[in-house]
Each structure stands twice: as structure tokens, then as C-alpha cells.
Structure 1
Amino acid sequence: MRSPLEWFSNIESPTLRREGEIRTHSLILLRWFAVFGQLIAIGVVTFGLNFPIELYPCLILISILAISNLWMGISTSQTNRMSNYHTARLLAFDMIQLTALFYYTGGLENPFSLTILVPVTIAATLLSRGATVMLTVLALFCATFMAFYHEPLPWQGSLLDIHTGRVSILYIVGLWVALALAILLMALYLWSLTEEARKTSEALQQTESALAREQKISALGGLAASAAHELGTPLSTISLIAKELMNDLPDDSPYFEDVELLVSQSLRCRDILAKLSVQPEHIGGESFEELTLSHMVEQAMQDHVPPHITSKFIFDENSIGAEPIVYPSPELLQGLGNFYSNAGQFAQNIIETHFSWDENGYRLIIEDDGPGFPATVIEKIGQPYISTRTGEDGHMGLGLFIAITLLERVQAHVRIQNKLPNGARVEILFPVNNKNDEDITNV
């Protein structure tokens, strides 16, 4: 049997954010912009202006950038985030590629050498102090190298106009284009990062609010169970004495009805306290005891799956050992509840929950027979405010974001995809030993 960890050996939840992380999708777009910008610039200089240029080395360098970006897009999920270390390493690679390209096109004499500022700007905005210092030193080294070591600037004639003594107007236009592109690129990119950070911050606040509500309800359930336990003994004493008084009083006593009412109300109180102590989770709290995995899932499903939808549990016969015992924390119940709520809204007839476990951890798979996620949505799952219903009935696409974020709090790893021929599939891994979590990489 395949270990549950094997299914997730290349998974890292998309919403896990550490210092300096940047969304992979943003870096891929930025690097494709650089690829096409470099190709256009080389094409205009070579074929439009007929300037002499080392064409083949330049095309090889641009191809290296394009291939590395293509590989990154294939090997990683674009909704995931790159760590501080990997982002710094990638930006250093891009800076060296730019320096090599400018070596063949005039070095610092090339007006587009200003674009060497872009990787440094990204580092200063997003990365740690150490990474920023490293990239700044590298940028200074590259600038110094380009100042002294480079091929001649592709040009025909002299940069200076012999009649006016000024720099050629063509060079001024090139410098203006380079400066405008650098300004627009950095402004748009930094604005997009700020907007993404704002949405993420708002979504995280919603997550904290949902967790706080769940914890308050849980605390209320605990208080009710504690009160039921503490009040049980004195209430039993009151009920016993009331019954003895009712037995001692004659039927025509003016106090008989009062004592009879006292007995009936004490019995009612006993029933209420019994319900609170036995089933506190039915008012929204947790059961205050460890549960088997399937019973915990049943508890999380309560009030989230419509009555007309059939819920089916399927256990993997190859699972090793007894069914896991888990503690139904508020994060776990709320996170799973959000997934079942989403499945219940789109399922046609059935929701299946698959269970498997071994010595390394346990795995849940939630499948429904609904239409599944649209392609435009599934690529961005895990980001806040992503939904096919955004703006309708107050839906802001926060359900899955909150669910993933809450499950990450209990060290779970989540993968969401469509299943064939139709329907959605959510895989959740709960590792028993989380010491190797930092070694988990993206797909």
C-alpha cells in the first residue's frame, strides 16, 4: 500500500506564508514579460535599425531565461509561494542573465541597463534583509562589471551629433523607452503586490474571526458540560426531597400541587442538564473527548450537508493498524466543515469520504458528484476572494481559503483538484510526525 505521505510528498499548502514569500504566478508573469521584452528589443535593434549585434549569444541567453521560466511553470503550482531563499536565488539568476545579455549589447552604455534595478526592487520589497543585501551587492558587482567589460554598443556612426554636440536623439529615445518601461514595470508590479497583500490581510482577518467564533462556541459547550456536571448532585438532592414531600402530603393538601410542580420541574432540569453533558457538540461545541477519525468527520459534517445528499464513508482495507484517534479541535472542525459545506452546495446526489492511514499519518479524501471547479478557479484555489459566485449573495470566495488556513494550523496539507468524469476532490493529509514538514516542496 502507498503511504499517505507519498501522495503529498511534493505538496505544500498554497496559503502557508513565511517571511519573504512571493506568489509563483507573479514571478512567472514578470519573467515572461522580461523574455518577450528582450526579444522585442533585440529584434528592433537587429532588424529594425540594422545595428550590428552578437545575435546568437543574445538569443541563447534569452532562451535560457525562457526555458528556466517554462520549467518553473511546469514543476510548481502557480498558486503556491516561493520561499525567501528560492526567490533570492531566482532573482540572482535573472540578474546574472541580464548582465550577460548587456555584456554583448554595450554594457552600461545600453540604456536598458536600467532594468538591473528591477530584481533589487523586488528584493527590497519582499525579501529578508540578508537576501536584499546579497542581491544589492550582486547588483553593484554586475554594474561594475558592465562598466569595464562589454562588447561595443550596437550603433552606426557616432553617439554625438556633430552639428549640435549633443547625444543622438535616437539614443535619447532609447533611454526614455528604457526608463519608462522600468517605471511602469516596477509601479504595476508593486501595486499588484500591495493589492494582493491587502486582500490576503482581509481574508486572514475573516479566518481569525471564524476561528474565534468556533472557539467561543467550543468554550460555551465546555461551560455547559461543566455546569451540568456540577449541578447534577444538588439537583438530584432537590428532586429526592421533593418526591418524599409529595409522598408525605395528603392529596387534599393545599401544598400538594406546588410540590408536584417542583418535582416535575426538577425532572425537566435533569433532562436538560443530561443533554448538555452528553451532547455539548450539538450546540456547536466540541465533544471534549478524543474521537475516532470517522466520528470526528461525522461531527464536522453536521449541518453542512443538505438532507437530500447521501454521505458515504469508504475505508481503505489496506490501512495499517487501528483507526486513528483524534482530538476535534475548533480549527479541525471548522476547516473540514467548510469543505463539506462547499461540497454540499454543489453535489448532485452523493458525497464520498475516503479514509486511509498508516504509521506515517492518515488521509481524508472528500469527493462529490457536482460539476467540479472551473479551470479558471482551480488554478487559483487557496487565494482569498476567488470564487465563481463573487459578489452574489455576499459570497466572496473565502470558504476554501479559510478551510485551508485553519487546517494548516493543525499541520495538515491540502490538495484540491477535479476528478473524472465530474466532481471535485479534496485530499487532506495529517502527518503523525511533522518534523520533516519544512522539506515538503511544491508541485
Structure 2
Amino acid sequence: MATSDSATSAAQTIPVRDWRSSARGKNMQQLQQLRWIAIAGQLLAILVVHAGMGIALPLWPMLLVLAALCLVNLLGPLYWRHLHKVRLRHLLFSLLADVAALTALLHLAGGITNPFVFLYLLQVVLAAILLPLKARWLVVAVTSLCLLWLAVTPSPVRLPANLDAGLADRYVQGLLVCFVLMAALLVIFMGRIGEILRARDARLAALRQRAIEEEHIVRMGLLATGAAHELGTPLATMAVILGDWQHLPHFTSDPELLNDVTEMQAQVLRCKAIVRGILQSAGEPRGEAPHPTDLHAYIESLADHWRQRTQAPLALHNHIRPGIGIVADDGIRQMLFNVLDNAQEASPGQVRLHAQLDDDALMLIVEDDGPGFADAILDRLGTPYLSSKDAPGRGLGLFLSVNVARTLGGSIQAENRREGGARVRIRIPVQALATGTTGEEDLA
């Protein structure tokens, strides 16, 4: 029951995604801004034509249409916030609402003879960029029917036109204003929407690259588990033989040989433990699960475990206050140990680990006094088989660590210190450690 309650509370702490964070949400924001500009421009045009040009317009019906557009702009975000996302049909309905409002205003202000009738093209261009093929043609059909309706339906207002007067004619002036307005809006908003779409494409490319890397990790896991199964039998045989050797007179009479055999048996047992750990991580029951612990104590235990495993010095500077609860997971330990192992191999002196909190994120900073990273490695940090050590199969530790950190919603950055050596910064959101959530988002 306690496990169920903790899982429920953890699920309740997962942050709800904002509808404005997706590409469609950002496009909808652009449409809302465009609608506010259209409402303000249409209101200004109504006042100028009615009061400045002396053309009597049906003010109350036209103001009612503008009020309906304002209502759509105000109520829309509340609905999308409830759904937590914007769908394609919402973009379609939004464009159709603008087409309907434009049709009503044009009918009340001259119909097909109104120079602002060309604003229909703006809706068609927006549909061509934001909507799939069928929805685009639907907008084209709706705008064409609206134009046809304006052409056959008499307007309550007749606009005077005298094209021979050139720029002095009100219709020509309206055409020029309509053209400048459409050109400006297309440049501004099409540029913004293009940036949103390019950002989405870049994110898709990053996700594809990540899928390739994760597929590579799966292949490595299959190879590791297969090798672990194959190594189990010879390691068990070696452990039995070394155990028998310890009781032979030839070895018991020579303390030096006996110590060598004892040390060999200890190393074989350690290899068997490593193989068993690989098999357990691959899905076999391990008898232990991620458990709640204190972040300060967890960092201390990781440092002690690494010292015992490598027999190497490690200076720990733990600046995290006690009392911050997290869920300990083996992936965090392996990620940190990979970075520490690389630092210990590269550094002839002591490795330093700094642990601190930075804006609700755990910062683990590993420093060494080695030669530092090559520029090619810094530019492609986390690429598999990219290592300063000229040996096949190297560079996988940092590659796996980068992927573990990214899965937890964090990141790993590396740099060379001015005084010599390298510095690796691991940043993990504390919420991911507390609830087990990730920083991944879908593209819906």
C-alpha cells in the first residue's frame, strides 16, 4: 500500500506540459497575435471610413463581429490549457473563424467591392504553411465560396469608386493599404512561423540522432549480456581450480605463491560479481530496487564506494545540505563512476568531486590534473568510440554517461581548466531524482 501511495504522489508531482511549448502551440500564439492586430486594424479602419470619409457603416453589427473575435482570442487559451496541447484541427478552426469574421465585415462594408477583400489571401497563405494538404484545400474552398457569396449578395453599404481618379480614389487608396498591410504581415509572421518550423525540424533531427544512439546502446547491451553468459562458465571453472590450489602442499608450503593464488581467486570472484551485475542489469532479478535515501548521504556513499573499488584518492567537497530526499538508482552511480574513472586514468594526481545544488538541480563537478580534452572531443562530447586513448572500444563510458544524464533531463558538459586538467559538469534536475521522471517531451 505504501508503494502504491508513493507511486501516486510521484505521479502527481510530474509537471504538466504547457500548451505553448510545442510547435503548434507557438504557431497558435502567432495566430492570436495576428488576430489582435487584425482587430485593432479593422476597428481603426471602421472609425476612419465612418467618421473621416463620411461613409455610413452599420457600426453595431460590425462591432459585434469584432467582439466575437475578441472572445475567440480570450477563450481559446483556456481551452488549450485544459487539453495541455494544440491540435491541427484547432489551427484549422482558428483560421476558419478569421475567414468567417472577415466575410461578415466585408459584407457589412461594401461586399466584393471592398478593397480589403484580398485579405483572404493571407488566410490561404497561413493555411498552406500550417495545415496538412486536405485542410489547405478546405480553406481554399471556404474562402472561394465566401468570395462567391459576397459577389452575389448585395451589401447594405455601397462604396463609391472612380478608378480614373488614380490615387485620389478611395478604392485605389484602400488597395494600396491592403497590399502594404498584407506584405508586412506576411514578412513578420511568416518569418516567425518559419523559425518555429525550423526549430521543430532541428529538434526532430536531434531526436532521430538520439534514437540511433539508443539503438547503439541496445546493441551494446546485447553484446554485453551475451559475453557475460559466455564468461560465466570459465570464471566458475577458474574459481574452483584456484580453490583447489590453495590446499595443495606445493602452494601451502610457499607463502608467496599462496598469496598470489589467494589474490587471483579474489580477482576471479570480482569478475564473477561484475558479470552477475551485468546480467542483473539486463533484466534478471537483482533483489534490490531503487530506494529512497538522502542526497547528501548518497553522494558520500558513492564517493566511498568508488574509493574502495579503485583504491584511488578522491577529494570530495559535498556542499549539499542533509534532508533532501531522492530515489537512488544504479544508473546515476554508473554515470558518475564512468566520469570518475576517466578522470583517474587521465590524472596522475588526485581527482576532485564537487557536489552542490544550482537552481533545483544537482551539480556534480569532476576535476583532474591530466592533459585535458582535445578540441575534437570537446566539440563532439559523448560520441561513441571517440577517445583520447588510442585503443579500440574506448569512449563508450562517457557516451553512456551522456545518455543517462539526458534521459534524466540533465546534461554533461566538459571543458579544460586554465590551470591545467579537465573539468566535467554533470547537471541533473533534483525532481528527476526524486520522482524518476525524465526531461523528454513529445512533439504533439
Relative to the length of structure 2, the TM-score reads 0.58
Q: Which residue of 1 aligns with 2:54?
A: 50
Gaps of 5+ in 1: 315-327, 335-342, 350-398, 405-422, 431-441
Taking the aligned partners of 2:182 and 2:215, their CA distance within structure 1 comes to 49
Shift of 1:195: 0.7
Q: Which residue of 2 aligns with 1:234?
A: 234
Question: What are the within-5 Å matches in structure 2 for residues 20-419 of structure 1?
Answer: 23-77=27-81, 81-151=85-155, 155=159, 158-160=160-162, 166=166, 168-210=168-210, 213=213, 216-217=216-217, 220=220, 223-245=223-245, 247-250=247-250, 261=260, 264-278=263-277, 288=283, 295=290, 308=320, 310-312=323-325, 345-347=358-360
Give SS of 1:33's match: helix
Taking the aligned partners of 1:280 and 1:15, their CA distance within structure 2 comes to 43
Taking the aligned partners of 1:251 and 1:292, their CA distance within structure 2 comes to 38
**Residue 266 of structure 2 aligns to which amino acid in structure 1?**
L
Give SS of 2:324's match: strand
Deviation sequence 1:233-277 (CA, Å, 0-9, x none)? 2112123223434543535999x9668635523431321330342
Taking the aligned partners of 1:109 and 1:250, their CA distance within structure 2 comes to 113
Deviation sequence 1:116-162 (CA, Å, 0-9, x none)? 1222222221212221122111110001111222426565xx5227x
The answer (yes or no) to whether the contact 2:128–2:136 under 8 Å persists in 1 is: yes
**Residue 270 of structure 1 aligns to which amino acid in structure 2?**
L
The alpha-carbon distance between structure 1 residues 429 and 249, as it changes in their structure 2 partners (threshold 3 A), is closer
Q: Which residue of 2 aligns with 1:363?
A: none
The answer (yes or no) to whether the contact 1:279–1:287 under 8 Å persists in 2 is: yes
**Residue 345 of structure 1 aligns to which amino acid in structure 2?**
D
**Residue 261 of structure 1 aligns to which amino acid in structure 2?**
D
Taking the aligned partners of 2:151 and 2:431, their CA distance within structure 1 comes to 56
The alpha-carbon distance between structure 1 residues 258 and 153, as it changes in their structure 2 partners (threshold 3 A), is farther
**Pairwise CA RMSD:** 5.1
Q: Which residue of 2 aligns with 1:381?
A: none
Taking the aligned partners of 1:135 and 1:293, their CA distance within structure 2 comes to 59
Taking the aligned partners of 2:319 and 2:211, their CA distance within structure 1 comes to 26
Q: Which has the higher contact order (CA 8 A, sep 6+)?
A: 1
Higher Rg of the two aligned structures: 2
The answer (yes or no) to whether the contact 1:109–1:153 under 8 Å persists in 2 is: no
Deviation sequence 1:183-212 (CA, Å, 0-9, x none)? 221232222122112222223433444565
Q: Determine what percentage of the aligned residue pairs are the same residue.
A: 22
The alpha-carbon distance between structure 1 residues 111 and 194, as it changes in their structure 2 partners (threshold 3 A), is same
Shift of 1:21: 7.7
Taking the aligned partners of 1:159 and 1:189, their CA distance within structure 2 comes to 32
The alpha-carbon distance between structure 1 residues 181 and 141, as it changes in their structure 2 partners (threshold 3 A), is same
Taking the aligned partners of 2:285 and 2:70, their CA distance within structure 1 comes to 52
Give SS of 2:325's match: strand
Relative to the length of structure 1, the TM-score reads 0.58
- In the alignment of these two chains, the number of paired residues is 328
Give SS of 2:81's match: coil
Shift of 1:103: 0.2
The alpha-carbon distance between structure 1 residues 425 and 32, as it changes in their structure 2 partners (threshold 3 A), is farther
Gaps of 5+ in 2: 303-317, 336-355, 363-403, 410-428, 438-443
The alpha-carbon distance between structure 1 residues 402 and 134, as it changes in their structure 2 partners (threshold 3 A), is farther
**Residue 185 of structure 1 aligns to which amino acid in structure 2?**
L
The answer (yes or no) to whether the contact 1:120–1:135 under 8 Å persists in 2 is: yes
Taking the aligned partners of 2:217 and 2:360, their CA distance within structure 1 comes to 28
